[in-house]
Amino acid sequence: MEERPYHSVRLAKQLCKGCTNCLKHCPTEAIRVRGGRAHILDSLCIDCGECIRVCDYHAKVAVTDPLSMIKDYKYSIALPAPSLYGQFRGLQKPEYVVEALRCIGFSDVFEVARGADVVTRAIREKLKQPGLPKPLISSACPAVVRLIQVRFPELIENIVDIRQPMEVAATIARAEFCKANGCRPEEVGCFFITPCPAKMTVIRRPIGQKKSEVDGAISIMEIYGLLLPYVEKMMKDPNFHPSTKYGVAWSTSDGEANAVCPGNSLSVDGIDNVIRVLEEVENNKLMDLTYFEGNACMGGCVGGPLTFENNYVAKNTIRQMVKQMPEVHPDQDVPTSVLNKYPTKNDEEIEAKDAIRLDDNMQEAMRKMVRMNEIIERLPGYDCGSCGSPTCRSFAEDIVRGYCHEMDCIHIMKEKLKVMAQEMVELAQTKRE
C-alpha cells in the first residue's frame, strides 16, 4: 500500500495572506494559491524550503521534532550536522560544540562529519567499479534526490546507492553506544541536528532505505541559543575522536566532491542551478564527468533554511576551522573494518515519482496537451500569478487537469467584462418596438 505523503514543509494557514511570493519562487512549481491561501502539492514538493525563505508572513514552516523528544528514550545521542559548527563565529574546534551538546542533555554525541568520512570511503570504493553511469550523482542532499525522482526520473540510475552520512552515523553511534554501555538498541534514540526540512522528511519517508536509523530531527535554529553559552566556555572531552577535516567540509558546497573525487567532479549549489545542470546531464552533455554533487541550498548545507548564521559567514567559519585541522584523508582515517562491519549501501531501489505527465494514457495526454497549447495562445503571458498558478503555462496545465477555469485569469475576465458591458450598452440603445 502506498504510504501517505509526508512533508516537513507546511503551511501555517492562519498566517498566509495568499500572496504570490512562494508561488513564484518554488523551483518545482509545487504551490498554488486557491481560495485565498497557498496550497502545497504533495506530489511535486521536494522539501527544499525555498518557500520558507521567501515568505514575508512566516506562513511557510518546517515541522521538526522538539528537543523534549530526547526524553522519550533512556539514552539520547546527538548527531550534529557539520553545518552546525558554522553557526558559531570564530569556532576553533568541533569538539567545543560536541561538548556543548552533552551539556544541554544528550547522553552522547556522534559527529555526522564522521559519518561523512565513512561515506566518503564507501563512495571511493564504489568509484573503483567499472561501468558506472556518468556522472555518478551524490545522494547526500535529499531535496536533490527527490527533485530527480520527480523531474529527472531518467537519472535515478546515476544516483550513488550509498546511504547518507546521517544514516551511517546513526547506525555506528547506536551500535558503539550499546556496546560501551551494555544497553539495548531500542533504549537509544538518535537525533539529527538538522539545517533543513528535507532531512526531516527523509527520516520519516526514507529514500533507498526501508527504515531510517535516525529517530528524530531537531532544527539548528531551535537549539542554537541553548548551545551558545556552552560553546563559548570551550570545553572538550579529551577522549573524543574527531572526524577529519574532509568530513567537516561536507557542510559546504564542494566539500563532498573534494573528499570523494577531487580529480573529476562538479559541485553545484542552489536548487535552480542544480536543475540547470541536471538538464545537461540528461542531455548527455556531462558524460566525461565522474561525480556530481548537487546542493539545494546556496553554499551547501550551511545555507539550509533552518540555520541561524548567514551562509557566507558560516562557510568562512568552517573554512577557517578546517585549516587548523590535521591533513588526514578518510582513506587513512576510516579503517576498512568499519566499512565491512556497518551497512553503508541502500537496501531499496529509488523509485520514480512521476508527477509531470498529463495523463497515464498517452493519447489522452496528447489531447490534453493540444488543448493546453490552445489555452496558452489565449492567455496574456504576463505570468503574474493572480490566477493562483505560477505561470500562464502552468495555469493552462491546471485547466486541462481540471483544477481551475479559464475565467480564473483576471485578464481574460476583464476582456470578457468589456464585451459584456458593450453588449449591455447595445441592448440599452435598442428602441422599443
- Report the distance separating Cα 144 and Cα 147, nearest Å: 5
- In whole angstroms, what is the distance from residue 80 CA to residue 225 CA? 15
Cis peptide bond upstream of 135, omega within 30 = yes
Whose cell is 527504515? That residue is 211
Give the number of other CB atoms < 10 A from CB of residue 426: 9
C-beta of 105 vs 153, nearer to other proteins? 153
Q: Which of residues 374-413 bind other proteins (CB under 8 A)?
A: 397
Take residue 263 and report the three cell numbers written for it: 580529480
- The whole-angstrom separation of Cα 244 and Cα 327 is 8
Do 128 and 256 meet the contact criterion of CB atoms below 8 Å apart? no
**Placement of cell 505561470 in the chain:** 391
Cβ at position 6, least distance to other proteins in Å: 25
Tell me the window of 52-60, 192-200, 227-235, 363-371 that interacts with other proteins (CB under 8 A).
363-371
With H, G, I as helix, E, B as strand and everything else as coil, classify residue 275. helix
Stretch that binds other proteins, among 24-32, 93-101, 114-122, 279-287 (CB under 8 A): 279-287
Kindly indicate which of the ranges 33-41, 173-181, 252-260, 349-357 contains the residues binding other proteins, using the contact rule CB under 8 A: 349-357
> CA 122 from chain center: how many Å?
22
Question: Which range of residues in 32-40, 113-121, 221-229, 281-289 is near other proteins by CB under 8 A?
Answer: 281-289
Binding mask 235-254 for other proteins (x = CB under 8 A): --------------------
The three-state secondary structure class of 63 is coil
Taking CB under 8 A as the rule, does residue 286 contact other proteins? no
**CB of residue 285 vs other proteins: minimum separation in angstroms?**
8
> Please, what is the minimum distance in Å from the beta carbon of residue 280 to other proteins?
9
Could you say which of 12, 362, 421, 424 contacts other proteins (CB under 8 A)? 362
- Of 12, 15, 328, 366, the one binding other proteins (CB under 8 A) is 366
**131-160 footprint of other proteins as x/- string (CB under 8 A):** ----------------------xx------
Q: How far is the CB of 275 from other proteins (least distance, A)?
A: 11
- Please report, for residues 12, 25, 34, 54, 158, the alpha-carbon distance to residue 19 in angstroms, rounded to integers and kept in the order given: 14, 12, 10, 11, 38
Q: Which stretch binds other proteins (CB under 8 A): 204-212, 229-237, 352-360, 421-429?
A: 352-360
Closest CA to 154 of 345, 346, 350: 350
Is residue 197 a contact partner of residue 136, using CB atoms and an 8 Å limit? no
Residues interacting with other proteins, by CB under 8 A? 153-154, 279, 282-285, 354, 356-360, 362-363, 365-367, 369-370, 373, 397
